[in-house]
A and B are shown apart, each in its own frame.
Chain A
Amino acid sequence: MTTAEAAFTEDLVEVAGVRIQLRRGGTGVPLLILHSELGVPGWLRAYEHLARHFTVYVPSLPGFGQSARPDWIVSVRDLAAWVTWCVRDLKLSQPLPVIGSSLGGWVAAEIATMNAQVFTKMVLVGAAGLQPDEGHVWDYFMHSNQEALAQAFYDPAKSPEYAQYFGTAWRPEDERQAELNREMAARLLWKPYMRSHTLPALLRGISTPTLVIWGREDAIIPLNVCQRYVRAIPGAMATVLDRCGHLPEMEQPEAFVQAVLDFLAPRA
């Protein structure tokens, strides 16, 4: 579909053996966006801004949104393999820049540990995959879907996209979609919870230029994990956004986009 205020398309397409929901828009070189364990609720403002500089591709990962859930994807590494096939089958010119949020950040990092030829630059946003030095990753599976979304925002009341996507009474289909996302997340992330025991060692081998973006008030994955990523990935830099929780692309879209553009396209 194409709407007046936001030029993008949304299709169900067969990619790398899985029928997925794919949103895309914009012009220019491709930019791949990998969403979080909460799925992607729509064509976000941040994507709209980025689409002025890139052709933005936002696939709903297998098992999320309206994408099918193949039996064989049971781990983040399985998902990472599928993402590389997805890039190939969509015929995106490689290498290309990637933004990965939380689960999506972990997926991007796994790919970069295995193959430096997929991504030009990598932006990890509140990335999952590492155990905090202090505190715990907030446990989605001990809480309801509504509680999770409230927890993911620093100030839901002041976030227009929280209000737009999650703030009104949920319809049965919204409940169902959130539950499907949660099931796929449980499949990938239940144990060890939201982390990999081998990722800390693997990150040392990454040569892809990396920016780590974190919400200072992230109440899902604490800020100290940002420092862990920066220490582990050679040459990685960090941008910490104020008054911001686990989903900077939704809660602070302007600051988020600026940080991304400064990193991906400094001349702009």
Chain B
Amino acid sequence: MVKEVYFFTEMGYTAYPQEDARRRGYNNLMFPNAHFNPERAQQLYGMYFEELQYCTESGFDGVMINEHHNNPLSMMPSVNVIGAVLARTTRKGRIVFLGNVLPIHDNPLRVAEEVAMIDILSGGRVVCGFVRGLGQESIATNANPIYNRERFDEAHDVIIKAWTTPGPFRWEGRHYEYRVVNPWVRPLQKPHPPIWIPGVVSPESVRWAAEHRYPYVALAPPLHVTDEIYDLYDEVAAQTGFTPTSEQRGYVIRVSVADTDEKAYEEGRHFFWQLGTSFGVAPRHWLQPPGYVSRAATQSRREQARVGSANVTPGGPSLSYEEAHATYQIVSGNPDTVIKKLQRIIDVVDPGFMIFWGREGLMSHEVAVHGIDLMTREVIPAIKAYQPDREKGRQRRAVEAAATR
């Protein structure tokens, strides 16, 4: 059953000229930052922070934040700065970092220190996610993508050890080396904040999460690949020696809710605000710089499904707004409609927590706040009370899959 529901927005910088992106064929990495206006950004930050604050006070269990670089998709180039602000401006609710981009850091102990500080500042409300970052992030920070996964693994190990093993100690690894690991500030939560691993269906990330018994959070995938994700998770968990429960399953879903289905459908278009895509546009060699996707993964059926899936990576293949409803990558409608659609997802996935990606693009502040109200008053109580039928959900999926074959 769904125990917790969080709110998310990418905090898009919506004030850039879409026409220039259309002309160039991309809207990130190399897209000229002359289009960035700090005064406009100040207004947008103000609006987004007000909404996140409101979510924590009106019935969400917390908020999710993330990090992207060189990208108007998101005004959060430092997840820890955003998290630190929320730690002091909000009074309750978890702050879910999804997450720190580990491979781009040359000094991962800095991440350990910052997350520990924020955990204390927030009174132990941090959920700490780790991610590999988009391909563009490797280029923007010049972290060799060949070593992306190795650096992810090692940075994770050094951070966890810094939090759990009394210092000082030495660390002599392949990518990181410390004479002294002894960060003074350590997390409030013991042994450390919960670790969640978000992903866009990369089988290696799913496997890695299961091996570490970390919850895996699917980032708004098409519903038809979610069976595979969690089947793989369950398979690896069984080998690892545990039986996953809904506590290990998180799910991010775009939600547009309004008083009527028609109004919600129209407002939902704002999720596809970048040239009709949800994430923007970029050439493939930016999304997949050399070695970013391993050879093994390239050849796996799951990876091919992932790469071919629309709306799972910024700049990747993008379904139109209209088609994205069919794959459940967005749900829209009045509260009753949205509840029914979410129950459909819950039947398939049975997630312990859901994250409503609840506002995007040029949606007005008033519409966003009204949507938040409908979510907290009607949608969240209903889905938390819903008893999922995973067997039924899967059977329906199988029937549908056979029909579309």
Chain A contacts to B: CB under 8 angstroms: 141-145, 179-180, 182-183, 185-187, 190-191
A interface, by DSSP: helix, strand, loop or mixed?
helix
- In the complex, the answer to whether B283 meets A190 with C-beta atoms within 8 Å is no
Question: Interface stretch among B110-118, B141-149, B210-218, B233-241?
Answer: B141-149
Residues in B neighbouring A142, C-beta threshold 8 A: 30, 139, 285-286
A224 to B30: give the CA distance in the assembly, Å: 27
Query: How far, in whole Å, are A191 and B139 apart by their CA atoms in the complex?
Result: 11
The residue on B at minimum CB distance from A180 is B295
Query: B289 and A141: CB pair below 8 A?
Result: yes
Cross-chain contact A183 with B291 (CB below 8 angstroms): yes
B298 CB → nearest A CB, Å: 8
With A and B bound together, what is the CA distance between A143 and B289 in angstroms? 9
Q: Pick the contact of B291 from A144, A186, A191 — CB < 8 Å?
A: A186
Select A191's contact among B144, B285, B286, beta carbons within 8 Å.
B144
Which chain B residues numbered 237 to 293 have a C-beta less than 8 Å away from chain A? 283-286, 289-291
Decide: A144 and B283 in contact? CB cutoff 8 A: yes
A185–B290 contact, CB under 8 A?
A: yes
A179-B144 contact given A141-B139, A143-B285, A144-B285, CB 8 Å threshold: no
Which residues of chain B have C-beta atoms less than 8 A from A145's C-beta?
285
Among A144, A179, A187, the residue within 8 A (CB) of B146 is A187
Whole-angstrom CA separation of A183 from B147 in the bound complex: 11
Q: Is the CB of B146 within 8 A of A186?
A: yes
Closest chain A CB from B296 CB (angstroms): 13
Q: Which residues of A contact B139 (CB under 8 A)?
A: 141-142
Residues of chain B within 8 A (CB-CB) of A185 are 290
The complex places the Cα of A64 from the Cα of B364 at a distance, in Å, of: 53
B142 contacts which chain A residues (CB < 8 A)? Answer: 190-191
- Residues of A with C-beta under 8 A to B144: 186-187, 190-191
A183 B146 Cβ-Cβ under 8 A? yes
Q: Within the assembled complex, what's the spacing in Å between the Cα atoms of A142 and B135?
A: 11
A178 to chain B: closest CB distance in Å? Answer: 10
List 8 A-B residue pairs with CB atoms under 8 Å apart, sorted by A's residue number. Answer: A144-B285, A180-B295, A183-B290, A186-B289, A186-B291, A190-B145, A190-B290, A191-B142
Decide: A190 and B285 in contact? CB cutoff 8 A.
Answer: no
| A20–chain B nearest beta-carbon distance, Å | 18
| Chain B residue at smallest Cβ distance from A179 | B290
A-B pairs with lowest CB-CB distance, top 10:
A186-B290, A190-B144, A183-B290, A183-B291, A182-B290, A144-B285, A187-B146, A186-B146, A186-B291, A191-B142
**Closest residue of chain B to A186, judged by CB?**
B290
CB distance from A17 to the nearest CB of B (A): 20
B284 to chain A: closest residue by CB:
A144
Cβ of B145: which chain A residues have Cβ within 8 Å of it?
186, 190
Instruction: Provide the bound-state CA to CA distance between A142 and B145, in Å.
Output: 12
| In the complex, residue of chain B having the shortest beta-carbon distance to the beta carbon of A139 | B139
Q: Once the chains are docked, how many angstroms separate the CA of A133 from the CA of B165?
A: 50
Measured between alpha carbons, how far is A142 from B289 in the docked complex, in Å?
A: 8
Residues of A within 8 A of B286 (CB): 142
* Contact with A187, one of B283, B289, B291 (Cβ below 8 angstroms): B291
Among residues 143 to 160 in chain B, which have CB atoms less than 8 Å away from a CB atom of chain A?
A: 144-146
